[in-house]
Structure 1
Amino acid sequence: MNQPLAYIHPEAKIAHNVVVEPFSTIYKNVEIGEGTWIGPNVTIMEGARIGKNCKIFPGAVISSVPQDLKFAGEDTTAVIGDNTVVRECVTISRGTIDKMRTVVGNNCLIMSYAHIAHDCIIGNNCILVNAVQLGGHVEMGDYAIIGGSSAAHQFVKIGAHAMVSGGSLIRKDVPPYVKAAREPLTYAGINSIGLRRRGFSSEQINDIQHVYRLLFMSGLNYTEALDKIELELAPSKERDEILNFVRNSGRGIIKSYFAKDAN
C-alpha cells in the first residue's frame, strides 16, 4: 500500500497487500511478505526479510547494524518468519560473519522492549515476554518461552518447550521441556502443562520426567547420569533430544535446585 507519509526505498521488495502506516521507514534490500502490517514509526533497515501476515508495532527497529565491535559491514540479514508479532520498541539486529543472519521463526510473539542481538536463532512458536534481552548467538528451540525482564548471556541455548521464569539471568544452557527458575537459575521440574497443551501424551511426559529425575536428582554426575539414561531408558525422540542437548552444551547446563551439590 502506498503511504505518502512513510518512506519506502524504491528497491525494497514489498508484497502488494502490505500495509505501511505513517512515519515508518523502509530501507533498500528489504523484503516483506503478503498480508504483513507495518505500524507507524517502525524502522526496517537493510537486510530485513519479513514473512507473511506479520505485525510490526510502533517503535520497532528491525535489522539494525549489530552491536558488535567486530562487525565489519558484511552483507547479512535479519529474518522473521510468517505470522510473527513484534510489539512496541523491539530491536532485532542483523547477523555478523558468524552465522550471517539473525532468525526469528514462524508464529512467534516478541513483546515490547525485547532485544534480539546478532546471530540469534529463535525457533517457531516462541515467546519473549516484555523486556527480555538476548545477547548475541543465543539459540531457542521451538515453543520455548522466556519470562519478562530476563537476560540471556551470549551463546546460551534454550531447549524446545522450555519455560524460563521472569526476571531470570540465563548464564547456562536450559535443556528441553523444563521449567527454570530461582537465582541462580536452576531446574524446577518439567513444563508439563505446556506439554499437555501441545498434545504430548501422559506416557511421553512421564518418560521426560524419568530422564530428568536421573539427570538432576539421582546424585550422579552428568556423565554418569547420561550413561545410565542411555542404558536404562528406551530410545525416544524426547530422550534422545535431551541427551544430545546436554552432551553438546557449550556453556554447560543449569543445575538442579533439589541436588545443587551433586554435580
Structure 2
Amino acid sequence: MSAIHPTAIVDPKAELDSSVEVGPYSVIGPNVKIAAGTTVAAHVVIEGHTSIGRDNRIFQFGSIGAANQDKKYRGEPTRLVIGDRNTIREFVTLHVGTVQDKAVTTIGDDNWIMAYSHVGHDCVVGNNVTMANNSTLGGHVEIGDWVTVGGLVGLHQFVKVGAHAMIGFASAVSQDVPPFMLVDGNPLAVRGVNVIGLRRRDFSPERIAAVRQMHKILYREGRTLEDAKAAIAALAREMPEAAGDTALMSEFLAGATRGIAR
C-alpha cells in the first residue's frame, strides 16, 4: 500500500504507485494517476483527469487538476499531465485543458514552480522552467525549456516564451518573447540577452556571440521582422557552431502569433 495518511481521502479508483506518499487531509480523485516516488503534502486537492509522473514534490495547499476558469468549460473530461521531478510549492493552481484547444495542460520535467503560481488551461510548460512566486500563465500560454519567469509576472493568453528567456519581476507580457532574451517592465521591453543564464548552462563564448548577434539583428539594426528572419538564417551559415541556436530562433519567429516583444 502507498504511504497514505489516515486522514487523507483517496478515491479507490485512483492509481497510485506503492511508493507514493500522501499527507494529512489531502483529497485525491478517481481519475488521478501518480507514479513512483512522488510526495503529496497535507491539504492538497488533486482532481480531474490528472496524470503525475515520478519523483515530484507537491507542497501543502496545492490545487492540482481543478476545472479551468474558461467560461466555455462545461465539465468535459479534459486533462492535466505533469512530468517528472517537478517541485510544486504552496498554493499553486494547475488547471485542466479545454476542448476548444488541445484539451490538455502539459507540464514537463524538472520545473520549479513557486508559491501562489498559476498555470491556466491548455498551457504548455517545458523542462527546467522556474516560475517565481505569484507568476501567472493565462490560458494557452507556451513556455520553452530553461525559461525563468520572475515573481508577480502576468502572461496574457496565447503568449509564447522561447527557450532560455528570462522575464523580470512584475512584468506584463502580452507579446511573444523570443528565445534567449531578457525582458521586463509594463509595458514590456527587451533589455538584452540572458547572458548569465546561458553561461550557467555552459553555452560556449561562440554560441553566446551568435545569440548577441541575433539580438542585434532583431533590435538594434532597424530591420523589419522579415529582414531580420533572413539575416538570422544567413547567420547560421556564418556561425555553424551556433546552428542549433539560430534554428531555434528561426522556428520561434516563424510561429510567433502575437508579435514579438520589442
Letter in 2 for 1:83: R
Distance 2:185 2:69 in 1: 29
The equivalent of 2:255 in structure 1 is 248
- Classify the secondary structure of the residue corresponding to 1:199: coil
1:111 to 102, 111, 114: 114
Letter in 1 for 2:244: K
- Classify the secondary structure of the residue corresponding to 1:125: coil
Distance 1:196 1:230 in 2: 24
Q: Name structure 1 gaps, 5 residues minimum.
A: 256-263
The equivalent of 1:260 in structure 2 is none
Matches within 5 A, 1:1-263: 1-97=3-99, 98-234=101-237, 236-255=243-262
CA displacement 1:74-108 (0-9 Å, x = unmatched): 21111111110100000000011111110111000
Distance 1:7 1:86 in 2: 20
Letter in 2 for 1:71: Y
Letter in 1 for 2:201: R
Q: Indicate the percent of aligned positions where both proteins have the same amino acid.
A: 39
Q: Name structure 2 gaps, 5 residues minimum.
A: none
Matched residue count = 255
TM-score for both structures, normalised by structure 1: 0.94
| Superposed displacement of residue 214, structure 1 | 0.9
| Superposed displacement of residue 230, structure 1 | 2.2
Letter in 2 for 1:140: I
| Superposed displacement of residue 233, structure 1 | 4.5
CA displacement 1:108-162 (0-9 Å, x = unmatched): 0110000110000000000110001110000000010100000000000000010
Letter in 2 for 1:190: V
Which structure 1 residue ranges, 4+ long, deviate > 3 Å from structure 2? none
- Classify the secondary structure of the residue corresponding to 1:63: strand
Check whether the contact 2:235–2:246 (CA below 8 A) recurs between aligned residues.
no
Letter in 2 for 1:106: D
